[in-house]
Amino acid sequence: MKMISTLFLFALLFSSSYALDFCVGDVKGPETPVGYLCKPTSKVTVDDFVFTGLGAAGNTSNIIKAAVSPAFSAQFPGLNGLGISIARLDIAAGGVIPFHTHPSASEVLLVTQGKILAGFVSSANTVYLKTLKKGDVMIFPKGLLHFQLNAAGYPSIAFVSFSDPSPGLQILDFALFANDLPSEFVEATTFLDDATVKKLKSVLGGTG
């Protein structure tokens, strides 16, 4: 609510031609901590409130055999300031969405095809794990590490909604091994040996 109020205040300060009903994002400008500045109402069209990109499967020809197709405020400007967003998950056989967090949002996942083993870890290190089938829904609280993997042996699909138009993303494996942090520091913080760290850095494109 505070974010929406701030965006509306920006709109009123910059021009009287903005509607108070919504704040369609001006995605040509920079994204701020409270979202995008509002597009003038005279430039808003129905297409700002419609997104057609979730009907097609994402490209799962990658190391994790999975794809995320987002409809966040950057792709779907009408979401700006509304506290919601959505994405499509495609997970091929043997695929996984690795442990990751969304710093800005809680998540609701709905399976529409196949089976997905999903889980999250609380701040007390309690694991909540469930195999989900078509029609099942699971929630992942804001900021907690969670994952999804294919449990069907054939392509699985899910749609996920978030409590923020720009939920953010940090994948744990990439955070550890896809950067230039010296291997000795990664080894010290993960208790992994030098050979393992360097192998993972090589696989994920890290250096150091």
Looking only at the bridges linking them, the beta strands covering 96-101 and 170-171 are: antiparallel
Judge contact between 186 and 196, C-beta under 8 A.
Answer: no
Judge contact between 97 and 64, C-beta under 8 A.
Answer: yes
Q: 187 among the known binding-site residues? A: no
- Tokens encoding 47: 């297409």
Closest listed residue to residue 167, CA positions, set 87, 57, 91: 87
Neighbours of 43 (CB within 10 A): 10
Rounded CA separation 53/159 (Å): 12
Q: 31 among the known binding-site residues? A: no
Looking only at the bridges linking them, the beta strands covering 127-133 and 66-71 are: unpaired
Rounded CA separation 119/92 (Å): 18
Which residues make up each annotated binding site? Answer: 100, 102, 107, 146
Which residues make up each annotated binding site for Mn(2+)? Answer: 100, 102, 107, 146
Which residues make up each annotated binding site for oxalate? Answer: 102, 107
